[in-house]
Amino acid sequence: MSKVRVLVGTRKGAFVLTADGKRDKWEVSGPRFAGWEIYHLKGSPADPNRIYCSQSSGWFGQIIQRSNDGGKTWEPPGGPLEKTPDGSPKGQSNKFVYDTSPETGKPLTTHQWYDGTQRPWEFKRVWHLEPSHSDPDTVYAGAEDAALFKSKDGGASWHELSGLRGHGTGPQWQPGAGGMCLHTIILDPRNDRIYVAISAAGAFRSDDAGKTWKPINRGLRSQYIPDPNAEIGHCVHHVAMSPERPGVLFMQKHWDVLRSDDAGDNWKEISGNLPTDFGFVVDVHAHEPDTIYVVPIKSDSEHFVPEGKLRVYRSRTGGNEWEALTKGLPQENCYVNVLRDAMAVDSLDECGIYFGTSGGQVYCSPDAGDSWKPIVRDLPAVLSVEVQTLP
């Protein structure tokens, strides 16, 4: 029987949750890297034992960790870390170096700030890791300030795909409320196409493995920017792609849930009968490309679920028509948030859906959302949830 491994990043450490295909009894391992912010963990599709982890601290910097045994042991892929006098590891921020523009050969020096002034690009942390579909040693990293990096040696060294920041709009990018983070990376398994999303610049696509890029924000409308229909400046929260139909994308924007049927060239709103169209997560059923999931959040000023009820909403029609999924979820006095990387799906025949909350709960639905149960409670606030389906 197949197994599943759920990888959970939290404000204070990483946890690995494992179960068999029934998904009713779970083994909890962790915390790893206790006390550190774990922005993201992601397993390699090419090697079920390979996992990458983004470990971050405002004191000690950014560290990439790698496991070659399914999360049992970890090591920095670049070798042992230097220690501070109290024994804490120093970060590897210097391994992520912003590159020069591929067009001019000159450094890309500044980007726009909220007040219209220009600020220097700074490397702060890695928000998202995306391993290659075919090579366990190839992995991409999305950083703050917004940049895309690639490693071909299992995370030991990184180089920037600077064509993204070198796109002509780069100096006009500015941060969202959570920083100017590149938080979504999608690799099309059929070709060299890469999608990324940046808060608050928008979504971008490369058709040549990251050399050149184009904005893909046509149809997005944002009332809070000077030009609501601008090419860039939209605060995209997350983008998801169906593994069964890679040309179809779904987006949760700052406000609005949207769909593209042409690889992002055009978007249309599909918020339909949702109670609110603000939120952070969106994901797609592993086998049903028109079945999608979101978790509405009350507003951009009140980051918790509406009416104190934790509800996942599912559309089986690709959007517009939504049903609330509540069985097993708290329906009173619940005021949690679900962040952009905190939902995932497995690829078992009966697709499982997983999500984590700011209150430290991780929920599983082994029946595609019809019913839910907590895998674990009372973790630190959950930042990310990913799942590996194992043989």
CA–CA gap between residue 366 and residue 376 (Å, rounded)? 15
Read off the DSSP letter of residue 347.
-
Q: Is the pLDDT at 87 greater than 90, yes or no? A: no
CA–CA gap between residue 317 and residue 291 (Å, rounded)? 6
Q: Is the pLDDT at 159 greater than 90, yes or no? A: yes
CA–CA gap between residue 160 and residue 107 (Å, rounded)? 12
pTM: 0.95
- Closest to 128 in 3D by CA, of 390, 389, 387, 385: 385
Mean per-residue pLDDT for 3-23?
96
The string of DSSP letters for 154-207 reads: TTSS-EE-TTTTTSTTGGG---BTTBSEEEEEEE-TTSS-EEEEEETTEEEEES
Tell me how far CA of residue 48 lies from CA of 28, 45, 227, in angstroms. Answer: 18, 7, 46
Max mean pLDDT among 84-98, 210-224, 325-339 falls in 325-339
In this predicted structure, what is the pLDDT of residue 22? Answer: 92
Percent with pLDDT over 90 in the chain? 79
pLDDT digits (tens, 9 = 90+) for 282-295: 999 999 999 999 99
In this predicted structure, what is the pLDDT of residue 89? Answer: 75
In DSSP terms, 40 is beta-bridged to 54
Q: Is the pLDDT at 24 greater than 80, yes or no? A: yes
Q: How confident is the model at residue 93 (pLDDT cuts 50, 70, 90)?
A: low
CA–CA gap between residue 32 and residue 92 (Å, rounded)? 18
Q: Is the pLDDT at 90 greater than 80, yes or no? A: no
Q: Is the pLDDT at 116 greater than 90, yes or no? A: no
Task: Write down the mean pLDDT value for the chain.
Answer: 93
pLDDT digits (tens, 9 = 90+) for 99-115: 877 777 777 788 887 77
Q: Is the pLDDT at 94 greater than 70, yes or no? A: no
CA–CA gap between residue 253 and residue 197 (Å, rounded)? 10
Mean per-residue pLDDT for 265-271?
97
Q: Which residue has the higher pLDDT, 272 or 178?
A: 272
In DSSP terms, 52 is beta-bridged to 42, 66
Q: How confident is the model at residue 230 (pLDDT cuts 50, 70, 90)?
A: confident
CATH fourth-level superfamily of 3-390: YVTN repeat-like/Quinoprotein amine dehydrogenase (2.130.10.10)
CA–CA gap between residue 290 and residue 39 (Å, rounded)? 29
CA–CA gap between residue 37 and residue 60 (Å, rounded)? 11
Q: Is the pLDDT at 132 greater than 90, yes or no? A: yes
The residue ranges of every structural domain in the chain are 3-390
Mean per-residue pLDDT for 82-88?
75
Task: For CA atoms 206, 210, 213, 215, give the dihedral sign.
Answer: positive
b/e sequence 126-136, b meaning 16+ C-beta within 10 Å: bbbbbbbeeeb
